[in-house]
Amino acid sequence: MQRRGLSKGTLLGKCQWCTQPIKEGDSTFSSYNARIINTKWYCAECIVALKPTVDELTIEKEYTEDKLAAEQAGNLDLLSQKWIVEVGTGKIRHNPNYK
């Protein structure tokens, strides 16, 4: 990441979620890759921790869109071929055999 023009060690802020300090020139993973999102600082560890949740939401959104399209087309077979919905947990995942 490029230097921001501040002296090394300057406190830029704290992570909105974990309150870890983010300092200029700090070479730790959390500070070096920290980002400002909607005027708030977020450390890299907190951003990376969101990945599984975001992936799950993305799959649910894709499934919902495919389900709506299949219902409109009247072809629910395509939906069952492309997606697997686990009975016990209700988890949705792509069918690895679908091409």
pLDDT attached to residue 4? 61
Q: What is the pLDDT along the chain (99 residues), one digit of tens a residue?
A: 455 667 888 889 999 999 999 998 888 899 889 999 999 999 999 999 999 999 999 999 999 999 898 888 888 888 888 888 888 888 888 888 887
Rounded to whole angstroms, what are the CA distances from 61 to 26, 67, 84?
A: 38, 10, 14
What one-letter code names the amino acid at 96? P
